[in-house]
Amino acid sequence: MLATETRRALRAGADFVHLDVFDGNWIKGAFTFGPMVVRALRRHEPKAYLDVHLCVTQPAQYLDELAKAGASRVLLHFEALDRSPAVAKAAAQLAHQLGMEVGLALAPQTHLDSDVLEAAESFDAVLAMTVTPGFGGQAFMHEVLPKVHQLREAFPHKSLEVDGGITVRTAALAAAAGANEAVAGTAVFGAKDLRRAIRDLRKSLERS
């Protein structure tokens, strides 16, 4: 099922596949899959960009297996890295040594303080969650948009991703604030015309 839906999205024009890995500990009750599924998906889609979002208690311990599994980029939560720039930098360095790109993920409640900004320097991308991590179908949190704007001002050349409650309208709002990547679940897979849904989302990002 996952391989089929992934292929369908990629053939419809998706730029990447975003995979949420939950261990059931960091977010209580949220459990998905691990590196074995990433590896299986890589076998099905050898050319796909696999964007793996780790919502786990000890993200660094997964990096070696995810690199071997074929992850293109891993997204590590600052909140799970002891909120420490040193710990975050070490994790980013390890991901790079293993041949992956790496992004710093920020929960909606995490403010942009000096520690976050220092940590983000070591990452290729920053993911600003626009819902509370854990479950799909949540409403977009408009209060995160100022954070997106601040991130773009601080890092004019980094990839800046938003995830949660993404529609054509909210993608445009995020893009206006500075985002250049958006993760969409319901808006894409719940659409009758997958290709059109992806095209419309891309236009929203590019238009702003």
| Catalytic member of 20, 23, 64, 193 | 20
Rounded-to-integer distance, Cα 45 and Cα 28, Å? 31
| Catalytic member of 64, 113, 115, 163 | 163
Please check whether residue 54 is in contact with residue 76, taking contact to mean a CB–CB distance below 8 angstroms.
yes
Q: What is the pTM of this model?
A: 0.94
- Does the pLDDT of residue 134 top 90, yes or no? no
pLDDT mean across residues, the chain: 92
pLDDT for 112 equals 96
Please give the average per-residue pLDDT across 71-88, as a whole number: 97
**Structure tokens that stand for 58 in this block:** 């000890």
3-state SS, residue 207: helix
- Does the pLDDT of residue 142 top 70, yes or no? yes
| CB neighbours of residue 112 within 10 Å | 16
pLDDT for 31 equals 47
Please check whether residue 139 is in contact with residue 107, taking contact to mean a CB–CB distance below 8 angstroms.
no
pLDDT for 1 equals 78
Catalytic, 23? Answer: no
Please give the average per-residue pLDDT across 30-58, as a whole number: 89
Rounded-to-integer distance, Cα 62 and Cα 154, Å? 29
Please give the average per-residue pLDDT across 97-103, as a whole number: 98
Catalytic, 163? Answer: yes
